[in-house]
A and B are shown apart, each in its own frame.
Chain A
Amino acid sequence: MKKSHFTVILLTLVAATLGIFFALRSEHALLVHPKGEIARRELHLMATNVLLMLSIIVPTLILLFLVVWKQVTKRHDDKKGSPNTRHPIFREGILWIIPLIVVLVMGVITWFAAHKLDPYRPLQSKRTPLHIQVVALDWKWLFIYPQQGIATLNFIEIPENIPVRFSLSADGSPMNSFWIPQLSGQIYAMSGMITTLHIMANEQGEYTGRAAEINGAGFADMTFAVKVTSESDFMDWINSVKSSPHELTGTVYSELIKPSMKNQITFYSSVKKDLFEQMVEKYLKPSS
Chain B
Amino acid sequence: MKKNFFTGKLTFESLPDHWYTIGGTVFIILVGLIVAFILTKKKRWKWLWKKWLTSTDPKRIGTMYMIFAGLMFFRGMLDAGMIWLQQSLAADSQGYLSSDHFQQIFTSHGDIMVFFVTMGFFFGLMNWIIPLQIGARDLAFPFLNSLGLWLTVSGGVLLNLFFVIGGQFANTGWLAITPLSELEFNPGVRVDYLIWSLQLSGLGSLLAGINFLVTIIKKRAPGMTLMKMPLFVWTSLCAMVLIISAFPVLTATTLLLWLDRVLEMHFFTAGFGGNQMMYINLIWMWGHPEVYILVLPAFGMFSEIVATFSKNQISGYVSMVWAAIMITVLSYLVWLHHFFTMGAGANVNSFFGIVTMFIAIPSGVQVFNWILTMFKGRVQFQSPMYWFVGFLILFMFGGMAGVFMASPPADFQVHNSLFLVAHFHTMIVGVALFGIFAGTTYWFPKIMGFRLDEKLGKRAFWLWFVGYFVSFIPLYILGFMGATRRLDHYASSTHWQPLFIISTIGFVIIACGCFTQVMQLIISYKKRKEFSDQTGDPWDGRTLEWMTTSPPPFYNFAVIPNVSTREAFWEMKQKKLPPSKSYQEFELPKNTGMGIYISVFAFFAGFALVWHIPWLALLGALGALTCVIIRSFDKHTEYMLTAEEIERVESSRGQG
Contact = CB atoms under 8 A, between A and B. Distances in A.
B178 A174 contact: yes
A29 B371 contact: no
A50 B477 contact: no
Interface stretch (B42-50, B208-216, B340-348, B634-642): B340-348
B462 interface: yes
B272 A286 contact: yes
Nearest to B98: A217
A83 B566 CA distance: 13
Interface residues of B, number: 103
Nearest to B490: A220
B99 A218 contact: yes
A110 B413 contact: no
Given A12-B465, A64-B392, A96-B319, A42 B410 contact: yes
B495 interface: yes
A186 B364 contact: no
A217 B99 contact: yes
B343 A68 contact: no
Contact of B371 (A67, A76, A223): A67
A28 B277 contact: no
B385 interface: yes
B482 interface: yes
Contact of A42 (B346, B363, B412): B412
A177 B313 CA distance: 50
A208 interface: yes
B99 A118 contact: no
Interface string B317-358: 111000000000000000000010111011101100110011
Contacts of A210: 482, 484
Contacts of A13: 393
Contact of A214 (B103, B403, B413): B103
Contacts of A85: 313
Nearest to B400: A53
A20 B476 contact: yes
A234 interface: no
Given A30-B482, A72-B381, A84-B313, A191 B412 contact: no
A103 interface: yes
A114 B350 contact: yes
Nearest to A181: B482
Given A46-B404, A81-B376, A15 B469 contact: yes
A220 B489 contact: yes
B407 A83 contact: no
B371 A60 contact: yes
B655 to A, nearest CB: 28
A82 B409 contact: no
Most buried by A among B100, B316, B361, B365: B361
B272 A186 contact: no
Interface string B372-408: 0011111101000110011011001100100110111
Contact of A103 (B172, B357, B390): B357
B177 interface: yes
Given A1-B386, A28-B481, A39 B180 contact: no
Contacts of A212: 415-417, 484
A23 B476 CA distance: 10
Nearest to B494: A28
A110 B487 contact: no
Given A32-B480, A174-B185, A283-B270, A53 B403 contact: yes
Contacts of A221: 489
Contacts of A95: 316, 319, 364-365, 368-369
B352 to A, nearest CB: 10
A279 B480 CA distance: 34
Contact of A219 (B276, B414, B476, B486): B486
Interface in A1-43: 1, 5, 8-9, 12-13, 15-16, 19-20, 23-24, 26, 28-32, 39, 41-43
Contacts of B371: 60, 63-64, 67
Contacts of A99: 360-361, 363-365
A212 B177 CA distance: 14
B484 A179 contact: yes
A100 interface: yes
A260 interface: no
B152 interface: no
A119 B476 CA distance: 25
A283 to B, nearest CB: 4
Contacts of A111: 350, 354
A192 interface: yes
A41 B413 CA distance: 11
Interface string A42-77: 110110011001101100110110011011100010
Contacts of B32: none
B223 to A, nearest CB: 18
A45 B376 contact: no
A196 interface: yes
Contact of A84 (B360, B376, B414): B376
B231 to A, nearest CB: 14
B514 interface: no
A68 B374 contact: yes
Given A31-B413, A46-B404, A188-B341, A1 B393 contact: no
A129 interface: no
A184 interface: yes
A269 B349 CA distance: 39
A283 B56 CA distance: 53
Given A28-B494, A84-B315, A185-B413, 19 more contacts: A1-B381, A5-B386, A8-B466, A9-B390, A42-B413, A57-B400, A60-B371, A84-B316, A95-B364, A95-B368, A103-B358, A106-B357, A114-B407, A118-B345, A186-B413, A190-B277, A213-B416, A218-B99, A286-B273
Interface of A: 1, 5, 8-9, 12-13, 15-16, 19-20, 23-24, 26, 28-32, 39, 41-43, 45-46, 49-50, 53-54, 56-57, 60-61, 63-64, 67-68, 70-72, 76, 78, 80-85, 87, 91-92, 95-96, 98-100, 102-103, 106-107, 109-111, 113-115, 117-121, 170, 174-175, 177, 179, 181-182, 184-188, 190-193, 195-196, 208, 210-221, 223, 282-287
24 contacts: A1-B381, A1-B386, A19-B477, A30-B482, A42-B413, A45-B409, A49-B407, A50-B404, A57-B400, A64-B371, A71-B381, A81-B376, A83-B312, A98-B364, A102-B360, A115-B346, A115-B347, A179-B482, A186-B412, A212-B417, A214-B172, A214-B173, A217-B99, A219-B99
Which 9 A-B pairs have CB atoms at the shortest separation, nearest pair first? A185-B412, A99-B364, A1-B381, A117-B409, A114-B350, A181-B482, A81-B377, A195-B343, A118-B346
